[in-house]
Structure 1
Amino acid sequence: MEQLYSYVPRELVTFVLVTLFSLLIGLSQRRISLKREGETTLFGTDRTFTFIGILGYLLYILDPTDMRLFMGGGAVLGLLLGLNYYVKQSQFHVFGVTTIIIALITYCLAPIVSTQPSWFYVMVIVTVLLLTELKHTFTEFAQRMKNDEMITLAKFLAISGIILPMLPHKNLIPDINLTPYSIWLATVVVSGISYLSYLLKRYVFHESGTLVSGIIGGLYSSTATISVLARKSRKASEQEATEYVAAMLLAVSMMFLRFMILILIFSREIFTSIYPYLLIMSVVAAVVAWFIHSRHRRSKDVTDEPEDEDSSNPLEFKVALIFATLFVVFTVLTHYTLVYAGTGGLNLLSFVSGFSDITPFILNLLQNIGGVAAVVITACSMQAIISNILVNMCYALFFAGKGSKLRPWILGGFGVVIACNLVLLLFFYI
């Protein structure tokens, strides 16, 4: 935008932008106000907001240094807006002040456009338009919020913005790279991804079906998602059976993407060597899920009902405590395994870690092992994921029940994914 000043006078560009932005705000505000309040309580029309913006520009350029005229015009405008609000409140019992705030922002556009870079004043306009248009959306969002939702958000802000910066970087155990800061950093990152998936599932995809539940749940915890889906599949009809297996495999697919994000955050070196494997396996799991999903079409009388809402809180203290404990345990185990058993023992530990949450083990590999080659860390991460997928398959078989119609699909789908993982791991070692 600033390049136009080389060809067109600055004053002309500023005037056109202020007028255009004021008109856009006026059009948006007029539509919303008419729908909410009606013509009788409306503070002017779209032209009124346009003239407010032009007035602000004229008073600004007449005294750009001291800005006495601009401030005086703002005071007069504020007085008129106050009188309008008094009439609305006393005669029509309308108490909203959104129109007043937007009118004052419109009046301030002239100095903003004149003194700030283009990205800033465009951001201001976009924000005003979005917040004006999304009023109904925010109302629905607030109605769906649980009573303790703000407490949950406060918890996340506290653990990430207050507790984390205060923790020391001093090792807790001699000769082991384990600090309070590294433990809590891993907890914050994992909790942040889990909290984001929780918000997506509850407020964006709250009416989603089985497949979307598998996708969103995989960002949080593939093991928990697969266990829940397997339990719910006991009540599923024969036409719905493949939907649950496909959703489980989509959760596995998202697990690979989740580890891609975590590895990218903690180690760029490991990410460059492991991301092709994770990306390929995510695609393989998604393709197998699509294949299973397409095997049986639903009959016409079967409707796609939304999944039961999972009200679990991903920021519960006990969840963070369990993760931090596992992180410490795997850090100590990894250190002494390397000391007494070398990389061979570390390879064995990577398979054993799959029987629990592998996230603490992988994050420990990324943060706390400085003397181990990147290729060993990459291989151990891959092996831990393979082991965890095998455990997830066992969970799916167990929770689905002995007589479940899902058992052949679970064995076949997970078997293909595990086999492809093993083949890629062999190629990696070769």
Structure 2
Amino acid sequence: MHLSDLKFLAWMPMDGIQIFAVLFLTFLIGLQREGHKGSAQPFSFGGVRTYPIIGLVGFAASVLAGQNLALVFIGFGIVAAFLLMAYWRKVSASEYTGATSELIGLATYLIGPLVYHDQLWIATAITVASVLLLELKEFLEGLAKKIEAADILAFTKFLLLSAVILPVLPNHAYTDFQINPFATWLVVVAVSGVSYASYVLQRVAKGHGGILLTALLGGAYSSTITTVVLARRSRTTMQDRVFSGGVLMASGMMYGRVAILLAIFNHDLMMRLAGPFVALAGIAIAGGFIWARTDSSQNIETPETSSVKNPLETQTAFIFAGLFIVMIVATYFAVRYLGAAGMYALAAVMGVTDVDPFIMSLTQTASNLAPTVVTANAILIATASNNLVKGVYAYTLASRKTASQSLIFLIALALLGLLPLLFS
């Protein structure tokens, strides 16, 4: 947004409009600081007069400097010196060492040059952000106490994966296998991002929501890990229907997770599988929820999920990238030498492990190796195979009734997942 766009102020000279904008924005900051003088430390810097004056100084320096920013920087240094003197006096007179007001003063000075150079949007954004940061002090400080160092490190790792590594990778396909480093790492970021979102929700909801919420969030993270956790936990309680229903719900969430990833990377595959995946997810989640609610004691405590680890570990990311490339190569040879039958056989085998690398490899190679219908069928086979494997895990690890119920449910879900093959 530019000041010239404000047609209703066309009767005013541009300099007048700019001065008015500077006064308005800096007054908001000064008003916020004035309101906290009485409740803060006795030596607080600035208020409703000081901050607008700082903004006007910055604007006047810009007018005098024109396109030469040297005078603007000199003015910035002079204002910074005055603010440093104010901060030194505050520290000398009290034990309070916060420098928020002084730093906001520097930001206020910059509003003047920004408005002069017709950067009203940036100036307004800085003003709004400054006022919000000042007003939300207690909330932000409380939030900082709740967030563990491990969570901050985890988010930093996500930035490393997505904002540092990804942009520098070449976006070109190499070798006969058409391996694109950028696309490969983008898949890693997307899969890790979906898992991380579920991981964060699990951390937030820790100790709340019970088994069923754990099943939903865990299924979005990894339905296989969630199945193992719920199966082991069922041995210590008598809530068979709750745990078997949770296992079914977790597998339903797997279809939702895969659908999101397909929507990101291959629209054609998503359109072909949208109907079956939505139906399978709905049947599994609704069926598992209804089954669990028939248990008279379903509101038991949330199971321990310490086995669910942060998905943004760099080692995990590189392992996934390696598996992804291996799946591209394996799919290439399977289709080239064995045709559609080879892809289907590979899909059935890959269901025994984590299906994400295999399915993601198909989103990148589908158009080059096989028709969309063949690739979609391979994904259906892989997810069905994965459900059968989870049924075996549940049958092996869970209590007797939970084991049999979970196995029946997951076999049924696997068969339902194969039904679309009859109409392809």
Q: Give TM-score, length-normalised by structure 2.
A: 0.79
Q: Does 1:326 align with 2:323?
A: yes
CA–CA distance in 1 between the matches of 2:118 and 2:387?
A: 53
State the one-letter code of the partner of 2:388.
Answer: L
**Aligned position for 1:102:** 104
Gap change, CA 1:354 and 1:303, over 3 Å in 2: closer
Say if 1:209 and 1:306, in contact at 8 Å, map to a contact too. Answer: no
1:196-235 equivalences under 5 Å are 196-202=197-203, 204-210=204-210, 211-235=212-236
Say if 2:29 and 2:131, in contact at 8 Å, map to a contact too. Answer: yes
Shift of 1:143: 4.2
**Aligned position for 1:91:** 93
Which 5+ residue runs of structure 1 have no aligned equivalent?
A: none
Say if 2:63 and 2:116, in contact at 8 Å, map to a contact too. Answer: no
**Aligned position for 2:26:** 22
Gap change, CA 1:143 and 1:407, over 3 Å in 2: farther
CA–CA distance in 2 between the matches of 1:362 and 1:326?
A: 11
Shift of 1:353: 1.8
Gap change, CA 1:237 and 1:42, over 3 Å in 2: farther
Q: 1:127 aligns with which of 126, 129, 142?
A: 129
Identity level (%): 30
State the one-letter code of the partner of 1:268.
Answer: H
Say if 1:187 and 1:320, in contact at 8 Å, map to a contact too. Answer: yes
1:178-197 equivalences under 5 Å are 178=179, 184-197=185-198
State the one-letter code of the partner of 1:380.
Answer: A
Shift of 1:293: 4.8
State the one-letter code of the partner of 1:213.
Answer: T
Deviations 1:183-217 (A, max 9, x none): 55543443343334334433x44454334433333
Say if 2:230 and 2:303, in contact at 8 Å, map to a contact too. Answer: no
3-state SS of paired residue (1:7)? helix
Which 5+ residue runs of structure 2 have no aligned equivalent?
A: none
Shift of 1:355: 1.2
Shift of 1:84: 1.9
Say if 2:241 and 2:295, in contact at 8 Å, map to a contact too. Answer: yes
CA–CA distance in 2 between the matches of 1:33 and 1:293?
A: 56
Shift of 1:335: 2.6
**Aligned position for 2:399:** 401
Gap change, CA 1:260 and 1:66, over 3 Å in 2: same
CA–CA distance in 2 between the matches of 1:7 and 1:291?
A: 60
Gap change, CA 1:94 and 1:250, over 3 Å in 2: farther
**Aligned position for 2:266:** 267
CA–CA distance in 1 between the matches of 2:51 and 2:399?
A: 66
**Aligned position for 1:115:** 117
State the one-letter code of the partner of 2:8.
Answer: Y
CA–CA distance in 2 between the matches of 1:81 and 1:119?
A: 26
Gap change, CA 1:423 and 1:104, over 3 Å in 2: same
Deviations 1:117-149 (A, max 9, x none): 554344333432443345445545554555555
Q: Does 1:353 align with 2:350?
A: yes
CA–CA distance in 1 between the matches of 2:234 and 2:143?
A: 30
Gap change, CA 1:27 and 1:177, over 3 Å in 2: same
**Aligned position for 1:277:** 276
CA–CA distance in 1 between the matches of 2:291 and 2:119?
A: 53
1:384-399 equivalences under 5 Å are 384-399=382-397
Q: Give TM-score, length-normalised by structure 1.
A: 0.79
CA–CA distance in 2 between the matches of 1:106 and 1:235?
A: 61
3-state SS of paired residue (1:108)? helix
RMSD over aligned CA atoms reads 3.9
Shift of 1:377: 0.9
Q: 2:364 aligns with which of 367, 385, 408?
A: 367
Say if 2:384 and 2:415, in contact at 8 Å, map to a contact too. Answer: no
3-state SS of paired residue (2:9)? coil
Gap change, CA 1:293 and 1:30, over 3 Å in 2: farther
3-state SS of paired residue (1:235)? coil
**Aligned position for 2:291:** 292
CA–CA distance in 2 between the matches of 1:329 and 1:72?
A: 58
Say if 1:250 and 1:286, in contact at 8 Å, map to a contact too. Answer: yes
Shift of 1:224: 1.0
CA–CA distance in 2 between the matches of 1:31 and 1:303?
A: 48
CA–CA distance in 1 between the matches of 2:408 and 2:150?
A: 42
Gap change, CA 1:4 and 1:386, over 3 Å in 2: same
How many residue pairs get aligned? The number is: 417
Say if 1:208 and 1:307, in contact at 8 Å, map to a contact too. Answer: no
Say if 1:60 and 1:67, in contact at 8 Å, map to a contact too. Answer: yes
CA–CA distance in 2 between the matches of 1:56 and 1:134?
A: 27
CA–CA distance in 2 between the matches of 1:310 and 1:142?
A: 25
Say if 2:394 and 2:407, in contact at 8 Å, map to a contact too. Answer: no
Gap change, CA 1:55 and 1:323, over 3 Å in 2: closer
